[in-house]
Chain A
Amino acid sequence: MSETLKVVENATCTFCGCVCDDMELTVEGGRITKAKNACVLGKAWFLNHHVEDRPVAAIEGRAATLEEAVERAAQILARARYPIVYGLSDTTCEAQRVAVGIADRIGGCVDTTTSVCHGPSGMAFQGVGEVTCSLGEVKNRADLVIFWGSNPAESHPRHFTRYSVMPKGLFVPNGRKDRTVVLVDVRRTKSAAAADVFLQIKPRKDFEALWALRGLIKGVKLDPGIGDSIGIPLAQLEDLGRRMKSCKFGVLFFGMGLSMTRGKHLNAEAALALARDLNRYTRFVAKPMRGHGNVTGADNVVSWQTGYPFGVHFGRGYPRFNPGEFTTVDTLSRGEADAALIVSADPMSNFPQPAREHLQRIPVIVLDPKLSETAKVAAVSFTTATYGINVAGTVYRMDDVPIPLRPAFESPYPSDEKVLRAIDERIRNLQESA
């Protein structure tokens, strides 16, 4: 059988926050057979993609039509007293926007996977502010690149080559040779091989080390005992402080080693404050290494629409932001939510036990291209088309730069946006006739 072969140029990979938009995809008979320029994660993302053989929707595990499932989902959400909307990092901004609208309409919470990723960093931005820049500036200017609690070699494989370590730039014409690369981590990860300096810090000592650096760059004399406590000898910390002050353009990329470890937003605040302080001497920025394809888009969309990036509640008719109260692990673990709309996320496989237990007690509506663990326990599940591969739209790269998607082929399933619009519309009808 002869099958048409199609090549899609400048397609976008949405597997990680690098959002590489230089993919060249070969499509043969409803499958991607080649993904030129993709890294090992991107290749796995594209080449394993296949159209699932599942009904478009299911109610209580039984196949249903799209209309029936939309009806049931709208009924559940319209009746709920404390509904939550969660997920959103693996879908387009267009779909995210509709999901926020639904939360507003039903007076519920809207929260994204940011809350279990860089949510604490989001809190820190509000506390300290953010000295930032695009990855293009990093590529063209940065001569000191520090990764702290982040392992790009395994989580963002093309970050080094595309943006931060290898590329030749306007003010770093020799690329790698013009840069000093430092890695600070509790584990000697595969990223250590790319670094000139590796500092193995003791677990849960990030805040102390960052705060000590703040002191050092201001000329404060520190007790050498600090070395034993953080696992990095004072002389090495002083050396790092000197490099930070004397570089032309420094960047501190921080990962979930800071935001997921005790101290969380305070760890991130220490990193942001250090970068801010350094601008007395040179140009220095601090940036979170964002994970999922469009988690940065989720922050942007929720912020445009509510004024806050995640953990927002509309129960009083206006948006209120309170991490720890309106974030999803909390609304579930405390048993408050009485219905959940989950878009492209799988809390049943990665949330703490008390949150998972509550999810099994309440009606859950799931939109996902795959039969996730959460879809397996859902009252209503929708099989949707995969963003980037089947669905066009916009995603935000980790540095808040919007990037258009160029899908490879069409899916028989509807997009998240289409399903969400139908649910939203039906909820409005139900509310108007009530």
Chain B
Amino acid sequence: MPEVFVLIPGRTSRQGTSINEGKDSPEYRDEVGTLIMSPEDMARLGIPEGGRVRLSTRQGQIELPCKTARKGELQAGVLFMAYGPWSSRLMGGDTHGTGMPDSKAFDVELEKMS
């Protein structure tokens, strides 16, 4: 059963340094293609380090590996990933009259992949 989480895409220094090597560089792709999850949620859902999950919104779907957050970094129910082409795939085009699509703290459905 998919479960609803709040996803926060954001900048990281590794995303910032590796973007200068190019968006095709393995560093960049790894950084923007990994999901960070609280240790509590990882344990509760039985997801091992590097285990893959599927995230979906009404707009799109991505599959990516999970990494455990640093202690205290994330509250349970909140996910983080470095901002990039994958996080953008989950964003809708509606800007609610602002020009800005919901780009942070939006709901995603998470499903563990076996």
A contact residues vs B (CB 8 Å cutoff): 15-16, 40-41, 43-45, 48-49, 111, 115-116, 119-120, 123, 151, 153-155, 157, 186-190, 200, 202-204, 231, 256-257, 259-262, 264-265, 291, 310-311, 323-325, 327-330, 332-334, 346, 349-355, 370, 372-373
Contacts and interface: CB of A to CB of B under 8 A. Distances in A.
Contacts of A257: 10, 104-105
27 contacts: A15-B16, A16-B16, A40-B13, A40-B16, A41-B17, A43-B17, A44-B21, A49-B20, A115-B100, A123-B98, A186-B78, A187-B74, A200-B75, A259-B100, A261-B105, A264-B100, A323-B100, A324-B97, A327-B98, A327-B99, A329-B95, A329-B100, A329-B101, A332-B93, A350-B85, A352-B59, A352-B93
Nearest to A356: B88
Interface in B58-109: 59-60, 70, 72-75, 78, 80, 83-85, 88-89, 91-106
A329 B100 CA distance: 7
B42 interface: no
A204 B20 CA distance: 32
Given A186-B8, A261-B104, A265-B98, A352 B13 contact: no
Contacts of B74: 187-188
Contacts of A155: 11, 16
B22 interface: yes
B18 to A, nearest CB: 8
B105 A203 contact: yes
Nearest to B94: A333
Contacts of B102: 260-262
Nearest to A231: B75
A87 to B, nearest CB: 14
Contact of A324 (B6, B19, B85, B95): B95
Nearest to B93: A333
Contacts, number: 155
Contact of A260 (B6, B16, B80, B103): B103
The 7 closest A-B pairs by CB, nearest first: A327-B99, A333-B93, A324-B97, A354-B93, A44-B17, A115-B99, A323-B99
A40 B74 CA distance: 25
Given A49-B20, A324-B96, 4 more contacts: A155-B11, A329-B95, A329-B100, A370-B22
A426 B62 CA distance: 44
Interface in B1-18: 6, 8, 10-13, 16-18
Contacts of B20: 15, 44-45, 48-49
Most chain B C-beta atoms within 10 Å of own C-beta, residue among A116, A153, A334 = A116
Contact of A44 (B16, B23, B78, B101): B16
B3 to A, nearest CB: 16
Nearest to B17: A44
Interface of B: 6, 8, 10-13, 16-23, 59-60, 70, 72-75, 78, 80, 83-85, 88-89, 91-106
Contacts of A328: 99
Contact of A323 (B80, B83, B97): B97
A116 B101 contact: yes
A200 B74 CA distance: 9
Contacts of A351: 88
A48 B18 CA distance: 9
A16 B16 CA distance: 10
Contacts of B22: 370
Contacts of B93: 329-330, 332-334, 352-355
Contacts of B19: 44
A324 B83 CA distance: 22
A119 B10 contact: no
